[in-house]
Every structure is written in structure tokens, then in C-alpha cells.
Structure 1
């Protein structure tokens, strides 16, 4: 390639296409017309001797070559951007700004109360909109579409280089029963666990979960007597019943019914569950977004 004759605007077009996976949206992001973006894509394909993007029902899918060059291109454009303009400054005490957070049930109960308290103190003019989502992979589409600015949830099943993340919280599983349950007196072991009537929490509406997968590997099964879409309703359902539930620890420790339940370590090995802070690469260098990510990280670290 003759670098001296290379149009660097093509890298801007490539980066926009990687971010948006749609020619029309990429054109809007780059500030050019749709025909101009289509022409840029044709030139990029000739320069790199690769299709770079394949059309599909889900939008433009990057080829292996596109994925290989995506991060170096984004980094190079970021360095040029810093050279061309002074660093942006965001003053949360003075500026009015709204943000949309994507949250699953767990961070909505565990993180959001402390976060809103912090934001009310340090950013009184900021407005926070919360969008609830269930499927961990839904967050990619929400960030791609710009429907949310930042998300907190279990990491998506497939890593995407345009979706950035950092660890925020972890939690482990506990087994809960009502304080008047027989297990509260006799204790919990695997045999007792298997003989009980279980509550399964599945936001997706499944009739099996992680506990069932682990039991199946041992040739075992439990009796599921109640399925729920939300986990934070569980503590209120345990007192006065023979139900047992295996949920994340903070479901019990943050409940107003904590005094009415008993918490056991599960009688089988279960992994801890991570919750990440996630955002789109297009907002990586935004001073306002950097500030908010820092506040969320600070609040999460204190939990």
C-alpha cells in the first residue's frame, strides 16, 4: 500500500462501520451521506483486498480481517482526535446532562440505591433514566443502537471488540429457607437439599438453572415446585412455607425479610457470578461518560 496516497478518512469510515454495523447509521455517525459511506466501503475493500463486512439479517458482520484491524484503527483515530482538540472537561456540579443506564434485576436492587444517592450529592443537575433488560446478550444491541449509555449486568456470552467492559461486582450463591423451616433446626446437606421443594428463579422463563446443570453432572435432580422471573421476591416467599431457594447472597442480605430467613452455603459447588460495567467503544473518550463510569465503579467497589 502507498501510505502517502492513502485517504485517512477511510479509517474514519471503517471505524463507523465497525461501531454501527449498518451503512446508513455509519454514515450518520461519520457525518457523510449514505452513498459516500457505500463508496468508502468499496474503496476499503479494494485497499485491504478483503470484503471486510458481509451483509446478514443482523446487519453487517465483520470478517476476520476487519476484526483484526478494528482495535488498531480505533486506537489510531483516538490518538489523532486527542491531537486535534483539547481534552474535554465535564463538570457534573454545573452541567445538565441525562444518561440512560441499562440494568438487570440484580444491579437495580444492589447497586442503584447507593448510586442514586451518590449522584444526587455530586451531580444534582444530572438525570438518570434506567432501562431494564433481561437477556445478557440484549445489552450488545442496546449499546449498538444507542438506547443505553452504560450497562451493568452479567457479561455477554460472546465478546465483541466494540463493547468495552470492566469488572464491577461478584456474588456467590447461598441457599435460603424460612426461619421456621425444618432445615433451620437440622441443618443442610445434599440429601436434605434434594428432598426439598425448590424455587427456581429464571428471568428467561426456563424450567432449569445452574443448580440443575450442576446436579445433572452428578446424575442427580431436584424437585422444582415454583418458578419465578425475579430473584428479589424470593425472601418474602420463604417464611411459613417449606420452600428452599438457591440465589445470590445479596438477595438475602439486602432483604427487609432478612430476619425471617436462614442462609446456608449450598451443598454443591457453584461458581460465583460476575457483573460487569459495559459501554460502547464510541463513548470511550467522552469526558461525561468517563466520569459516570468512574462514579459507578467507585460505588460498586464500596458494596
Structure 2
């Protein structure tokens, strides 16, 4: 077997560059200096006859050749690591580390209390650090920077193979109005619904949500009376006004104002909302992080 003088350490450097998209972070990951990583990149470019990574405002961007090689080489390196290095066993009951997680508002509200309870039962010496994000791709930035071990939120738009996802939470939309609203007795058809002032929850500040997209396909529009970034204030607002809102069912059910609301099916078909468990390739095979991800998934399944 002849690998034409290829240094295995160069492939390790390549794998780190693919994961980190940054020479300095890649060097820290494999335990070498930044100049040594730059030299390794130069040797890789010469070896493969390709630039492999191009600089951009967002960091290093892999070329098509690098993207083609990334996953096969990563699998091969993980197999070599598995064969040559026995990984330490993770014992939850003896763990004393801090796990880090990024949560958007909805999973923080729905998932976090049960997750903390389960973590306290299974790994009482461990702790949890929570980081908030609103933009779906902000979770990827936090993972790239190593700020968090995992995230739960709406699937990111851009992953490039280094970010893994797994759907773990689902919810459906309901339309809510105050229980003393005249429409609560008559019911909501499309005409009545469109005549009401609407509340839009938009974490990213847009005035055009899923409901508006669905309406646009039918040539209809609704009248927005309020746009706000936080969904959990909405049930109390609806209970005290003549407005209506279409939001996720668990938010309405778990609100203190739920007894003053009527929940109805939206008069337009809306998709189910899916929240993903999101993590970086660098932690994919780490025993403690694997356990943490399975704990998150099992708690979500119990809901």
C-alpha cells in the first residue's frame, strides 16, 4: 500500500480546517501553532493541486474539491482514531463538567425545565450553561466558535456538512382569541378571521410570517395590529384585547392566560413546526457530548 508520501498529520489538519473554517482555531484544535497550520495548508494545496480553502468575510470557504474530500476523509480519520485510541468512557453519575446549549425562546420554554430535571437525576455533578439566539444561523456561529456543545431551534439555512441536525420537537399552530370575544361563540371562518386585528410574532423583526406566506398563495392579506419578537407575551395580550394571533399550541396551553382564551384551528392550512437538535461535527463522536445529545432527544420525546 503506497500513499505517495502523504503525511497523516496533513489530513488531520485538513479535517480541522474543514470543521473550524479558521486557521487559528484549527491550529488550537490539533495542538499546533498558527504558523504550523498555515504551513500544513500550504503543503495540502501543493499535494492536491487545489486551493482547498478560499478566504471570505465569514472565514475559510472550502472549494468543491475540499467539500468532496471532507466527509470521506473525516470518516476515515474517525475509523483510525477508533482503531488506535481507546476513548475514555463517560460516566454520567461521576461527571462534573458544564454542558453548554443554545436555545431559542420556544425550546427554552418547553424543553429546558424537563432537561434540567433529567440532568439533575442522571448527572447530579454536572451543570448547564444556556446561550440564547434568535437568528437560526446564529446557532451555527455559536457552534463554529465552540461556544456551545449543541443547540435546539429551527433548522439553520446553511450547514456545509460540518453541522449535523436531528428533528426532536414538533408543534402545530392554533388561532387564539379572548374567550369573551363575540367570535369565540360564532366561530372563525376566513372572512371573520381576516377582519380581526392580528398579532405577529417575528423574532427576526420581519412583518411577514408563515401565516402571511400561506395567505399570499390564496391572494389574501391580513391586517397586522402588533408585531413583537417574544411569543410568550401573546396569550396575555390576546386575553385582554379584541386581537387574534396564530401561534404554536404549547405556547397557548402553557400560558397563565390560557383559561381566558379560546383555541381554534386556523382557517388556513399551515405546516407543522419542527425544532432540530443541532451540533458541530467536532463533537459528534465525543462520549460526553453524545450522551448529552441523547439526553436532550429523550427529554424532547417524553414531551
C-alpha contact (below 8 Å) 1:180/1:240 kept by paired residues: no
* 1:104 corresponds to 2:104: yes
What corresponds to 2:66 in structure 1?
66
C-alpha contact (below 8 Å) 2:104/2:152 kept by paired residues: yes
C-alpha contact (below 8 Å) 2:140/2:159 kept by paired residues: no
| 1:181 shift after superposition | 1.2
C-alpha contact (below 8 Å) 1:202/1:227 kept by paired residues: yes
How far apart, in 1, do the equivalents of 2:170 and 2:25 lie?
36
C-alpha contact (below 8 Å) 2:202/2:227 kept by paired residues: yes
How far apart, in 1, do the equivalents of 2:159 and 2:87 lie?
30
C-alpha contact (below 8 Å) 2:93/2:123 kept by paired residues: yes
How far apart, in 1, do the equivalents of 2:35 and 2:130 lie?
36
* 1:188 corresponds to 2:188: yes
Please list, as runs of the form range in 1=range in 2, the aligned pairs for 1:43-62 lying within 5 A after superposition. 43-62=43-62
Deviations 1:210-259 (A, max 9, x none): 11121122221111101111111111111231110001111112222221
Please list, as runs of the form range in 1=range in 2, the aligned pairs for 1:153-302 lying within 5 A after superposition. 153-302=153-302
C-alpha contact (below 8 Å) 2:162/2:281 kept by paired residues: yes
After superposition, the CA RMSD in angstroms is 1.3
Ranges in structure 2 where 5+ consecutive residues have no aligned partner: none
TM-score by length of 2: 0.97
How far apart, in 2, do the equivalents of 1:279 and 1:158 lie?
13
| 1:44 shift after superposition | 1.1
| 1:2 shift after superposition | 5.3
| 1:160 shift after superposition | 2.3
Ranges in structure 1 where 5+ consecutive residues have no aligned partner: none
How far apart, in 1, do the equivalents of 2:26 and 2:294 lie?
28
How far apart, in 2, do the equivalents of 1:67 and 1:98 lie?
33
C-alpha contact (below 8 Å) 1:100/1:130 kept by paired residues: yes
Number of equivalences:
303
